Amino acid sequence: MNRVLVTGGAGFLGSHVCAELMKSPDHFVTVLDDLSTGKMENIAPFLDSGRFELIRWDVRQPFDRPFDQIFHAACPASPEAYQKSPTSTTKTCVLGTLNMLELAKKYDAKILQFSTSEVYGNPLTPLQNESYFGNVNPVGVRSCYDEGKRCAESLCADFAREFGTKVKIVRIFNTYGPHMDIADGRVVSNFIVQSLRGEPITIHGDGSQTRSFCYADDMVSGILRMMNDTADDFQGPVNLGNPEEIRVIDLARKVLGMTGSSSRLVYKALPGDDPIQRRPDISLAGEKLNWKPKVSLDEGLEKTIRYFRELLTP
Ligand code: UDP
């Protein structure tokens, strides 16, 4: 049995990783999750499998048990969620990662850190590659997450250098799909839910800022490739995302069209330090992991709309 720990395994991406791991009978999956943003529904299908357990745990507390692999995803990830208690977010990023690295070091486990495109801050380059050091406001409203995740990467790199810990770092760009929290404030879920409910679509700023959206299944395949790549034990960091870039306003129009909604657009103030552009250069992932996303935005939105439609149907 491969003993696998997924922190944040009841969350959006964590639960998709669990689903993929559970397909193999060789895995025993342990989830640490305090259910602050994660949901029992996301992991309900695995609870009676005999190869899965949920431990309600805040990763800011040390945890001690042997594992072979650690997927360290635990952290609120939507701007609305991570800004609710910014000091807690920083502690989760830093102390949570430190605790998981200590665990990996003690039991010689391989640990994969869920980092983020937010380490690039408000990027000054149209296409971000891993050698770009970013443009982060260290005292802005997003810094709890941006700097927290940067510090977490730094801890990973130092554990590898100082103790030889087996670390892997993926920088996850905007990802969407089923299991997104209906109320976490992210743009894809907001626009879909607002469209389906016939509520106004909330555009921040003039909607000219861009993002590049990756479907969850593609992201999970990249994450698993990274964990299981043994050829040269590539440490990363590596960008994972879909380079198909779109303006927020165009995403709103697309979602309106696909849902057949007559919701109107309303314009709100652009939140502080909201990046004006974001698009991953994924050539390194192609070269090292032979990975690239397969699901187009239209196809992924179709599936995500279906998920939310079912969720909203009484
Ligand atoms: N956004 C928006 N309306 C919403 C939610 C988000 O216009 O209801 C914008 C947000 O300001 C940002 C982009 O959409 O420019 C992506 O936001 P999200 O919270 O999904 O993630 P981010 O990439 O900012 O971390």
pLDDT tens for each residue of 134-187: 999 999 999 999 999 999 999 999 999 999 999 999 999 999 999 999 999 999
Is 307 known to be catalytic?
no
The pLDDT of 223-237, averaged and rounded, is: 89
In the chain, how many H helices and how many E strands?
11, 13
Residue bearing the CA closest to ligand 1, atom 10? 204
Q: Which of 120, 145, 176, 215 is catalytic?
A: 145
Angle, CA 176 vertex, CA 272 and CA 150 arms, to 5°:
50
Residue bearing the CA closest to ligand 1, atom 3? 203
> Is residue 281 helix, strand or coil?
coil
For the chain, give the percent of residues with pLDDT over 90.
97
Is there a domain that residue 255 lies in?
A: no
Report d(CA 32, CA 76) in Å as an integer. 14
pLDDT tens for each residue of 34-52: 999 999 999 999 999 999 9
State the alpha helices, DSSP H only, in 65-186. Answer: 79-82, 86-91, 97-107, 143-163
Which residues lie across from 269 on neighbouring strands? none
> Which residue range is the domain that position 56 belongs to?
2-177+215-242+280-294
Distances in Å between the Cα of 56 and the Cα atoms of 36, 87, 199, 253 are: 10, 21, 35, 40
DSSP letter string, 163-184:
H--EEEEEEE--EE-TT--TTS
pTM: 0.97
Is there a domain that residue 15 lies in?
A: yes
pLDDT tens for each residue of 56-96: 999 999 999 999 999 999 999 999 999 999 999 999 999 99
For a pocket test of ligand 1, which of 128, 142, 186, 301 has the largest count of ligand atoms closer than 8 A to its C-beta? 186
- Taking the alpha carbons of 261, 267, 272, 278 in that order, is the dihedral positive or negative? positive
Is there a domain that residue 82 lies in?
A: yes
Q: Under 8 Å CB-to-CB from 139, ≥6 apart: which residues?
A: none
Is there a domain that residue 207 lies in?
A: no
Is there a domain that residue 194 lies in?
A: no
- For 267, counting Cβ atoms within 10 Å of its Cβ (0-12 exposed, 13-18 middle, 19+ buried), the class is middle
Residue 49 CA to ligand 1 center (angstroms) comes to 37
Is there a domain that residue 275 lies in?
A: no
The answer to whether the CB of 188 falls within 8 A of the CB of 251 is yes
Is there a domain that residue 209 lies in?
A: no
Residues making up the chain, counted from first to last? 314
Work out the pLDDT band at 311, boundaries 50, 70, 90. very high
Cβ(209) to ligand 1 under 6 A?
A: yes
Residue 207 CA to ligand 1 center (angstroms) comes to 9
Report d(CA 214, CA 75) in Å as an integer. 19
Report d(CA 133, CA 113) in Å as an integer. 18
The answer to whether the CB of 3 falls within 8 A of the CB of 68 is yes
Which residues lie across from 135 on neighbouring strands? 121
Question: What amino acid occupies position 36?
Answer: S
Tokens (6 digits) for 65: 């048990």
Domains in the chain, number: 1
User: Residue 229: what pLDDT?
Assistant: 85
Is there a domain that residue 186 lies in?
A: no
Cβ(187) to ligand 1 under 6 A?
A: yes
Look up the CATH number of the domain holding residue 157. 3.40.50.720
